[in-house]
Amino acid sequence: MYCHPAINFLVREWLLTSAGVLCVLTTLWRGERPAWSIDEAQVLVVLFALFVAVKGVERSGALSWIARSVERGKRLSLKLVLTTFVLSMLVTNDAALVVMVPLTLALRIEHKDMLVIMEALAANAGSALTPFGNPQNLFIYWHYGLSPSEFMLAIMPFVIFFLLLLGFSAMLLRVRPLCIAEPEHEACVNISATVFYVLMLLFVILTVLRVIPVWANIVAVAYVYLFDKGALQVDYALLLSFFFFFGIADNLGAILATQMEHPIHVFLISAMASQVISNVPAAVVIAEFTANWKALLWGTSVGGFGSLVGSLANLIAYRFYVNSKETGHSMAFTMKFLLFGYFAFGAGVVLNYLISR
């Protein structure tokens, strides 16, 4: 059945579509346009530079080389899960899954479905540690003017708990590599490109840590535009979605003019909202109503588990698996994904309750 390209785009980019519609509706309800701040513009610039740096490292072949080195030797499941966990801290949860899930699907091993599910959980859990591990972290860090130490200390128990849980689970999952699919030609690593984009990634990190100004990233992006336009092929829909959600947050703040003061309420509302609208927009919208950044950080981190839309990383892992020629039984995979996702969600809720007491 034929669908107009515009309709296909709106369906495929459902997050952007819903964000745009909500921004327009709340603007009409409010009666005036939202006021986007300089800080929000800086977040968008830093996010864009981060996406470009990660895309450049990926194009240089460095990430693929790192991933290939993991597939050799014993305890394959543990290495795949832990590599995803650590990689997500450094290059975002989305980029970690873009590398690790295709690698996993290329291997001739058992239990690929469980490995992909555990990698999605690992990416969401590991990326929670650093301010630049995922978009909602970057927003919370920037919006509340936090220091790196207080941010990381606040979420450290969450990260350690799921590191131990996922590491233990990966050790229990015994996979037999029947025959590892080796590429016909070893991909080359472009050393000069790798060095440049790693330096650019360092620039982004130093900007997040407020060591260097935001404009330094603009200079780096301009250089990329002149010499490597392929690295500019990033997720512009997500950036535009952020723009709309900043507008939605401003509109709702003016309409409701209320604060959620109790940390438990903030945690539960942000965790549950993430199940419906994803944890990135949940962080942007709820931040307008609360000063409890720790509860919001925990809520959106736990909210990344559970539903397929809890985190954009979940959708990346899911789409890679169900669209692969090597896999099938998408309904069975979906049920497993939701089962283990909501188990992690419940564990996160219980952990937050125990710590908050």
> What DSSP string runs through 144-189?
TT--HHHHHHHHHHHHHHHHHHHHHHHHH-----SB----SSPPPP
Q: Which residue did the predictor score with more confidence, 75 or 336?
A: 336
- The pLDDT confidence band at residue 325, using thresholds 50, 70 and 90, is low
Percent of residues, the chain, with pLDDT higher than 90: 25
Would you tell me how many other CB atoms lie within 10 Å of the CB of residue 352? Answer: 23
| Residue at 17: amino acid letter | T
Which range of 14-18, 143-147, 239-243 scores highest in mean pLDDT? It is: 143-147
32 within some domain? no
For helices 93-106 and 76-91, the axis angle rounded to 10 degrees is 150
pLDDT at 157 over 90: yes
Check: CB of residue 117 under 8 Å from CB of residue 104.
no
- The pLDDT confidence band at residue 179, using thresholds 50, 70 and 90, is low
The tens digit of pLDDT for each residue in 112-136 reads 889 999 999 999 999 999 998 888 8
- Res 329: pLDDT: 64
- The pLDDT confidence band at residue 256, using thresholds 50, 70 and 90, is low
- The pLDDT confidence band at residue 169, using thresholds 50, 70 and 90, is very high
1 within some domain? no
The tens digit of pLDDT for each residue in 32-56 reads 888 887 877 887 888 788 888 878 8
- The pLDDT confidence band at residue 192, using thresholds 50, 70 and 90, is confident
Q: Which residue did the predictor score with more confidence, 334 or 69?
A: 334
Would you tell me how many other CB atoms lie within 10 Å of the CB of residue 57? Answer: 24
172 within some domain? yes
Q: What is the DSSP code (8-state) at residue 230?
A: G
- Res 108: pLDDT: 67
- Res 258: pLDDT: 59
Beta-strand runs (E) in the chain? none
- Res 354: pLDDT: 92
Q: What is the DSSP string of 307-321?
A: STTS-HHHHHHHHHH
- Res 105: pLDDT: 77
Q: What are 146's two structure tokens?
A: 């936090």
Domains in the chain: how many in total?
1
103 within some domain? yes
Check: CB of residue 81 under 8 Å from CB of residue 152.
no
143 within some domain? yes
pLDDT at 102 over 60: yes
Nearest-CA neighbor of 315 among 64, 133, 120, 58? 120
Q: Which residue did the predictor score with more confidence, 39 or 66?
A: 39
Cα–Cα distance for residue pair 50/256, rounded to 1 Å: 33
Nearest-CA neighbor of 122 among 74, 156, 170? 170
pLDDT at 281 over 70: yes
Q: What are 36's two structure tokens?
A: 């986007």
pLDDT at 150 over 90: yes
- Res 68: pLDDT: 66
Would you tell me how many other CB atoms lie within 10 Å of the CB of residue 215? Answer: 11
248 within some domain? yes
Q: Which residue did the predictor score with more confidence, 118 or 68?
A: 118
pLDDT at 91 over 80: no
Residue 273 CB contacts under 8 Å (≥ 6 apart), including other chains: 282, 285, 286, 303
- Domain limits for position 334: 62-187+235-356
Q: What would you report as the CA-atom Rg of the chain, rounded to the nearest whole angstrom?
A: 20
194 within some domain? no
102 within some domain? yes
